Every structure is written in structure tokens, then in C-alpha cells.
Amino acid sequence: MADLFGFLRFIINLILYPFALAFLFFYRCLQWLGLQPTAHNYHDNIVLITGSGNGLGREIALAFAKAGASLALWDIDDAGNRETQQQCLAILHSQNSSSRVRVYHVDVTRAADVYDCAKRVSYDLGQVTILVPNAGYVSGRSLLTESDSDIERTFGVNSLSPIWLIKAFLPYMLDANRGHIVLVSSVLGVHASHGPITYVSSKHASVGLSRSLRMDIHATHPYSRVSVHCICPYIMRTRMFNPLTNHVLLQSVVPIISPRYVAKQILDAIEWRRDEVILPYRLKYIAFIADYILPRWLTEWLVFKVSGRRPLDAFHKDNEEHTREKRKKHAQTVQKENID
């Protein structure tokens, strides 16, 4: 089996290298012609990030803080959000920056709460110029065992909340003729997989939203400088996907990525005005080969080999271990209280 995986890795690399070399040659030609990313002064930008209490949202906030932007941080995890705020303020203070960081407790699945808090942000900081709907949710259950409330929350967080946010902040961006909307989707929003069906569906919705919104802005405001970006990362080492990271195979071909790397790529997407970014970049070529060159049965076999036929089992195991740990800590606390 190891020899088979080694042979597959060799074939994939053999196919990918010409694409990589062609892209590198094209990129160097653009640099030689003097093409550079758009100079961005983030000091006069107000960035709103949802799901900023931990994981990718925190790294995005830290990346924008290093760039000097003012931040509006939205999350329902108040403790985590305050920790993100303190880390961002420390960065800004070290730079002697006058930018500000405010935290807000918002359930982004509630449209009324989103609209109300949008007004508070405008009053506290000013008009948002960079919107990053990053908040995400996955139940870790299959469609037939997932509760209706979990399904509603999955679509509420992943699909509907970006729509509420766009309705709240896009009108100002269009009037001011400046702004960036950065939708954080997933590779699973471009290429479907088995297992978390509702999560995959919700991320397909966010990719479709980005493409449709981009076309609509171009149709109704042909000369608008408002940009729509969609970031589609592979599995990251975050609290949401920690149960999967130790069960994914072929990481030498498609490595699990860090949220800090994704956050950096978000700023690059804004500066280079990239519409749709798949991370890591090699996945774009691998997906092209899987969709248009390999037979369907081989593509599915490779997907099953990478993630297993029952990838959600990892979530159940992690949840059971987490539950056991919580019960153990509770028992120790009760025992200590009885002793005291």
C-alpha cells in the first residue's frame, strides 16, 4: 500500500509541476513588466470580522492589526473575543497606532441583531470598509443523524449570516465607492465531499453568493471599486476541525494548513484583487485533474483514501473524549468542594 501511495504521489507531482512552472513563469513576467499589488493603507480602514473569538477569526484580526486597521470583532464567545481584542491592542500599541479595537456580542444568525449592531459599529468606529464574514459552524454529524436545529444553525451561520452582513454594510460601500467583502468559504464549497452534507451545502451557498454578488455589483455599478473575494481553505488546524487533523491521509500531497497562513492570504487577496482563492494553491490543479482527467471511480477512491469512508467518526470520538474530560473535571471539582 505504501508503494501505491508513493507511485500516486509521483504521478500527481509529475502532472502538477508543469502547471506550477507555467504559473511561476507567468508571475515573473508580470513582475518584470512592473505589475505590483495595489498599495493599501489599512490605517484608514475599519475591518469587521465575525467569529473572531478564536481560530481563523483571531488570526485574521491579528493580521489586520499588524497592518494598522481599526477592528470591530463580533462573536458569541465573549471571553475569547476579549482575548483577541487584547492581543490586537498589544500589536497596535507596539506600533504607536491610534487605531481602535471594539468587541461586540452578536448572534449572526439573527438578522435583527446584525442590523442593530451594524448601527452601533458605525457610531463607535465609523463606516466599515472591509467586511469579513468568517463565522462558521459544523455539527460533525451526518444528514440523517443531524438534528433540525443543527441544520438550521449550520445554514444560519455559514450561508445566511453573510447575507445579513452584506445587506447591512454594502450600501455604504457602494455610496463611498470603496470597500472589500471577503467571504470565508471552504474547498468543500467548490468541490463536494461525503460526510458533513449540510456543511458542504452551506459552503457551496457562500461560494455561489460571492460569484453572484460580484456579477451583480459589476452589472449595477460598472465602475465600482467595491470588490468581492472568496477564500476557500482546505482543512485547518483550528478548534472546529481538530478532530479531523489526525485522520487525514496523504498530507504530503495536500497538507493541512494553518489559520495564520490563511489570514495572510486574505490580505494578499485584497491587495492583488483576487476574486476566488483556493488554499493551498496546488488544490486548484489537483481538483482540475480530478474533475476533468481522472475517471470518477478513481477520484472517489482517492477522496475515500484521504478522508476515509466515515470521516465524521473522528468528530464523534472527539466529542466522546471531550465529554469524558468534562465529567472527570466536574467530578474532581465536586470532590474538592466536599473535602473543603
The size of the chain, in residues, is 340
pTM: 0.80
The answer to whether residues 193 and 332 belong to one domain is no
pLDDT at position 295 is 80
**What's the confidence (pLDDT) of residue 32?**
59
Query: What's the rounded Cα separation, in Å, for the pair 330 and 227?
Result: 49
Tens-digit pLDDT profile for residues 110-131: 999 999 999 999 999 999 999 9
199 given a catalytic annotation: yes
Q: How many helices (H) and strands (E) does the chain have?
A: 12, 7
Residues 31 and 110 in one domain: no
Same domain, 327 and 179: no
Same domain, 207 and 272: yes
pLDDT at 329: 46
Asked if 124 and 3 sit in the same domain, the reply is no
* Distance from the first to the final alpha carbon of the chain: 58
User: Could you tell me if 12 and 161 lie in one domain?
Assistant: no
d(CA 222, CA 316): 49
Residues 67 and 95 in one domain: yes
The residues, any chain, with a CB within 8 Å of residue 215's CB and separated by 6 or more, are: none
Q: Which region, left, alpha or beta, applies to residue 320 given φ > 0 means left and ψ of -120 to 50 means alpha?
A: alpha
> How does pLDDT run across 270-323, given as a tens digit for each residue?
998 899 999 987 777 666 666 667 787 777 777 666 666 666 666 655 444 443
- The structural domain count of the chain equals 3
Residues 17 and 60 in one domain: no
Distance CA 229, CA 207 (A): 10
C-alpha cell of 118?
Answer: 451594524
The answer on 261 and 324 residing in a single domain is: no
Closest CA relative to residue 206, chosen from 227, 225, 229, 226? 229
List the CATH number of the domain containing 86.
3.40.50.720
Q: At what angle do helices 197-220 and 161-176 cross, to 10 degrees?
A: 20
Average pLDDT score over residue span 4-20? 61
Determine which one of 42, 104, 137, 199 is catalytic: 199
Q: Which residues pair with 183 in a beta bridge?
A: 230
**The C-alpha cell that represents 170 in the structure block:** 454594502
The domain in which residue 320 lies consists of 314-340
* Residues 228, 218: Cα–Cα separation, whole Å: 10
Whether residues 177 and 246 fall in one domain:
yes
Pair (327, 283) in one structural domain: no
CA dihedral 201, 202, 205, 207 (to 10 degrees): -100
CB 312, CB 142: distance < 8 Å: yes
Q: Are residues 31 and 144 in the same domain?
A: no
